[in-house]
Amino acid sequence: MKTTQTSTKYVEWLSAETMHKNSIEWLSDLEFMKNEQLFFDDLIKSYTLQLIDSKHFKESKTIIDTLSKLQKKTDLLIKYVKTHKNDLKIMVDGIDQPKEEADYKNEHRRLIVEINDFIIEYRVLKTTLFSLIKSIKKEIKQSRLLSNK
């Protein structure tokens, strides 16, 4: 007996108001992340000498490359979400456009997944960066303690 694999797709009905709120939340989160990335840049500049040290170089290079990539992606997502938010008029203009409305909803669902994936990737970077800086700060403190003896 053969079994056939089916793909079940659960689709939540999204109202125009819900999609508008989502877009506003995404923009707020992305703008905050953009500001936070500036803080990360300053943090990296503050610890440049320690980050280019041979024992941290490989990890710090990976973190810096990822941060750079995420900064570009943040800018793209901000532009994209602003455009998406402005295109919401398709849903509320009172004109019956089933294909355009369905396309907009599908695009919104795709954005939900893309932004959630981005946030996860961003949090991983943040955790990695902070743990690296934390270990560097510990080393600096230890070396100060040893030099004071």
Query: Average pLDDT for residues 82-105, to the nearest whole number?
Result: 86
* Banded model confidence at residue 11, pLDDT cuts 50, 70, 90: very low
* Banded model confidence at residue 7, pLDDT cuts 50, 70, 90: very low
Query: Average pLDDT for residues 19-45, to the nearest whole number?
Result: 95
Q: What is the pLDDT of residues 101-116, one digit of tens each?
A: 889 889 999 999 999 9
The pLDDT score that the predictor gives to residue 1 is 52
- CA–CA gap between residue 89 and residue 102 (Å, rounded): 13
Residue 146 has pLDDT above 50, yes or no: yes
* Banded model confidence at residue 93, pLDDT cuts 50, 70, 90: confident
Query: Average pLDDT for residues 20-27, to the nearest whole number?
Result: 94
Which of 129, 128, 123 minimizes the C-alpha distance to 40?
129
More confident residue, 50 or 32: 32
Task: Please write down the HEC assignment for all residues of 35-97.
Answer: HHHHHHHHHHHHCHHHHCCCCCHHHHHHHHHHHHHHHHHHHHHHHHHHHHHHCCHHHHCCCCC
The pLDDT score that the predictor gives to residue 54 is 78
Q: What is the pLDDT of residues 38-77, one digit of tens each?
A: 999 999 999 888 888 878 889 999 999 999 999 999 999 9
This prediction's pTM: 0.81
